[in-house]
């Protein structure tokens, strides 16, 4: 538990620091607890091509800002088509001359080294991730960075055992792969994409999201320190056009994309007719389903974790709550109480539960959908916390009285907004949960094991959590149904997406 200080003590004045913005209900003010690790940011980040940091041919850079206070953190190189060509040429060379030919047991040594170096610099990476993306430090410190290292460890373990990926068949690498990732888990998505591709012997050109490129470029420093052969991983930074150039380039034999369904469709249209392999990890509108025999307090914690964790910037966020009618009022009352004490504010403060929205653009999108919810007649409740005056923040928000036709029940909001619907029977719960274009994840809360098995069979979702939510492990495949995409990341299944079976 964080330390509580009685409000009359004025701790900020006593410590000579600015007054803390965050109030715990109306009872206590918390002492600020900023992280002190130096994120060791450079004033400018170049492209990472052929093992070297190189300036972009255009000479252009763009700013990466801290969404918690709108201050510039650093400048990032803007890649153009020539840089993307150079990155792919380096990846092809590395595939032909070193990485593609290297025995798996040798590749494993590099992946282990990367994982260990990431652990060594974990605190620095966590602070950089939080400053650049706005997520609470306790999430980047306790989840993103350790989980990224775990993915490199796990796939290092596979690299010398690839004969067991598809028993009875031999596997070979595909060649050069192009990858594009979003801003909600910048380092973790790098690890999800890179570790299986590299373990299998492929080489990569990857584009991070425009607003969160820093930790990818710090990971490039680790690749240099680990002695990874030049060209095995190349990072090109910039906005959507650079992503399109990476996906549409003639060199890669496979492309892997994580991002919105909208952009995923654009990419699929532009690659239709080509023989490129594809993996698409797209949007979601997950249902958390609470039955009347569920342990309600535990369920409420799971619901809060499922949608307010990382400001709702989670593809598998439990953004719809389906609650059985008999317990709907009790669950709503408990949720409101929980929202009253959520701490929203400076992400670098280790007590913060809900940090900053990643960008002004994303904040506007959340506001638009929340306004639509109010206009369409749903009843809104917002956490009564004080928000910082600078930076991009949104109050954790609940909507009750939501019907399936409301936009807030159908569209991905990608913010800390929960839409609550009710149901009476198991079949109604399944029908409502599946009545969406997406199918990435779902949660079931009940005392009955048989009901969990029925629900997990009938819910059209890639992951179904039972009596928990948002649990991840590199050994478990993750991926979607329907418009949430195809292909799996993690586990043996994830490796199968990066190899040829011969």
Contacts with ligand NAP, residue ranges (CB under 6 A): 180-184, 207, 209-210, 239-240, 243-244, 247, 258-260, 263, 266-267, 281-284, 315, 412, 414, 440, 480, 484-485
The interface region with Mg ion, picked from 63-71, 288-296, 306-314, 432-440 by CB under 5 A, is 63-71
Contact 22, 355 (CB under 8 A): no
Q: Where are the alpha helices (DSSP H) in 309-378?
A: 325-340, 360-375
**Residue 189 or 342: which CB sits closer to Mg ion?**
189
Choose the one of ligand NAP, Mg ion, none that binds residue 485, judging by a C-beta under 5 to 8 angstroms depending on kind: ligand NAP
Name the residue with tokens 């028993």.
167
Greatest CA span in the chain, whole angstroms? 72
Choose the one of Mg ion, ligand NAP, none that binds residue 258, judging by a C-beta under 5 to 8 angstroms depending on kind: ligand NAP
One of 315, 316, 385, 499 is an active-site residue; which one? 315
One of 46, 281, 411, 489 is an active-site residue; which one? 281
Per DSSP, the three-state class of 205 is: strand
310 binds Mg ion (CB under 5 A): no
Instruction: Give the whole-angstrom CA distance, residue 357 versus residue 345.
Output: 10
**Residue 228 or 315: which CB sits closer to ligand NAP?**
315
List the one residue from 92, 179, 211, 215 that touches Mg ion (CB under 5 A).
211
| Least Å from the CB of residue 187 to ligand NAP | 13
Cα distances (Å, whole numbers) of residue 315 to 143, 284, 385, 415: 16, 5, 25, 10
Instruction: Give the whole-angstrom CA distance, residue 180 versus residue 162.
Output: 25
**Residue 64 or 470: which CB sits closer to Mg ion?**
64
Q: Which of residues 89-148 bind Mg ion (CB under 5 A)?
A: 132
Among 281, 430, 433, 416, which Cα is nearest to 358's?
416
Structure tokens at 267: 């990419």
Cα distances (Å, whole numbers) of residue 353 to 45, 125, 341, 396: 30, 19, 10, 10
| Backbone φ, ψ for residue 67 (5° rounding) | -70, -10
* Count of all residues that appear for the chain in the document: 502
| Least Å from the CB of residue 482 to Mg ion | 31
**Residue 173 or 243: which CB sits closer to ligand NAP?**
243
Q: At what angle do helices 296-308 and 325-340 cross, to 10 degrees?
A: 60
| Least Å from the CB of residue 169 to ligand NAP | 27
Name the residue with tokens 């796939």.
155
Contact 317, 408 (CB under 8 A): no
| Least Å from the CB of residue 195 to ligand NAP | 15
The distance of Cα 46 from the centroid of its chain, to the nearest Å, equals 24
Tell me, what DSSP letter sits at residue 345? S
**Residue 68 or 84: which CB sits closer to Mg ion?**
68
Q: Examine the residue annotation and report whether 281 is marked as an active-site residue of this protein.
A: yes
| Least Å from the CB of residue 211 to Mg ion | 5
Choose the one of Mg ion, ligand NAP, none that binds residue 209, judging by a C-beta under 5 to 8 angstroms depending on kind: ligand NAP
Choose the one of ligand NAP, Mg ion, none that binds residue 64, judging by a C-beta under 5 to 8 angstroms depending on kind: Mg ion
| Least Å from the CB of residue 133 to Mg ion | 6
**Residue 283 or 396: which CB sits closer to ligand NAP?**
283
| Least Å from the CB of residue 131 to Mg ion | 8
485: enclosing H helix or E strand: strand 485-486
Cα distances (Å, whole numbers) of residue 469 to 137, 289, 314, 498: 20, 11, 12, 28
Instruction: Give the whole-angstrom CA distance, residue 115 versus residue 474.
Output: 13
The interface region with Mg ion, picked from 51-59, 152-160, 203-211, 265-273 by CB under 5 A, is 203-211
List the one residue from 49, 64, 209, 494 that touches Mg ion (CB under 5 A).
64
Choose the one of ligand NAP, Mg ion, none that binds residue 207, judging by a C-beta under 5 to 8 angstroms depending on kind: ligand NAP
Residues forming contacts to Mg ion in the complex (CB under 5 A) are 64, 132, 211
Active site residues: 281, 315
């Amino acid at each position: 538990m964080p330390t509580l200080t009685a409000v009359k003590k004025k701790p900020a004045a006593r410590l000579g620091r600015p007054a803390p913005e965050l109030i715990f209900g109306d009872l206590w003010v918390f002492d600020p607890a900023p992280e002190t690790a130096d994120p060791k940011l450079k004033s400018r980040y170049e492209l990472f091509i052929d093992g070297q940091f190189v300036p972009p041919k255009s000479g252009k850079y763009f700013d990466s800002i801290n969404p918690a206070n709108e201050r510039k953190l650093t400048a990032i190189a803007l890649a153009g088509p020539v840089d993307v060509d150079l990155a792919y040429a380096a990846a092809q060379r590395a595939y032909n001359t070193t990485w593609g030919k290297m025995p798996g047991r040798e590749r494993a040594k590099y992946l282990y080294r990367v994982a260990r170096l990431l652990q060594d610099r974990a605190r620095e990476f966590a602070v950089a991730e939080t400053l650049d993306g706005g997520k609470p430090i306790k999430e980047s410190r306790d989840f993103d960075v350790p989980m990224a290292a775990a993915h490199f460890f796990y796939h290092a373990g596979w690299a010398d055992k690839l004969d067991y990926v598809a028993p009875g068949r031999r596997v070979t690498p595909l060649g050069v792969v192009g990858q594009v990732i979003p801003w909600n888990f910048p380092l973790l998505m790098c690890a999800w994409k890179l570790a299986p591709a590299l373990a299998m012997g492929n080489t990569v050109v990857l584009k991070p999201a425009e607003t969160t490129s820093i930790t990818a470029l710090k990971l490039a420093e680790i690749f240099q320190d680990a002695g990874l052969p030049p060209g095995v991983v190349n990072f090109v930074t910039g906005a959507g056009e650079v992503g399109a150039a990476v996906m549409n380039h003639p060199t890669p034999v496979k492309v892997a994309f994580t991002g919105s369904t909208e952009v995923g469709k654009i990419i699929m249209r532009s690659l239709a007719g080509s023989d490129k392999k594809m993996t698409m990890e797209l949007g979601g509108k997950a249902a958390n389903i609470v039955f009347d025999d569920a342990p309600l307090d535990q369920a409420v914690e799971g619901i809060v974790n499922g949608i307010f964790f990382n400001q709702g910037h989670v593809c598998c966020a439990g953004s719809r709550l389906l609650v059985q009618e008999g317990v709907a009022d009790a669950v709503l009352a408990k949720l409101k109480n929980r929202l009253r004490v959520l701490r929203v504010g400076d992400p670098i403060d280790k007590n913060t539960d809900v940090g900053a929205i990643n960008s002004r653009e994303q904040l506007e999108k959340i506001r638009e959908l929340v306004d639509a919810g109010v206009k369409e007649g749903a009843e809104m409740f917002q956490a009564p916390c004080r928000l910082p005056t600078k930076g991009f923040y949104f109050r954790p928000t609940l909507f009750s009285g939501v019907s399936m036709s409301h936009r807030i029940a159908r569209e991905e909001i990608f913010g800390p907004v929960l839409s609550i619907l009710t149901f009476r029977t198991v079949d109604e719960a399944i029908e409502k949960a599946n009545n969406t274009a997406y199918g990435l994840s779902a949660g079931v809360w009940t005392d009955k094991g048989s009901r969990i098995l029925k629900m997990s069979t009938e819910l059209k979702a890639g992951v179904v959590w039972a009596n928990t939510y948002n649990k991840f492990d590199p050994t478990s495949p993750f991926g979607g149904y329907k418009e949430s995409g195809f292909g799996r990341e993690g586990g043996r299944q994830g490796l199968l997406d990066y190899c040829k079976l011969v």
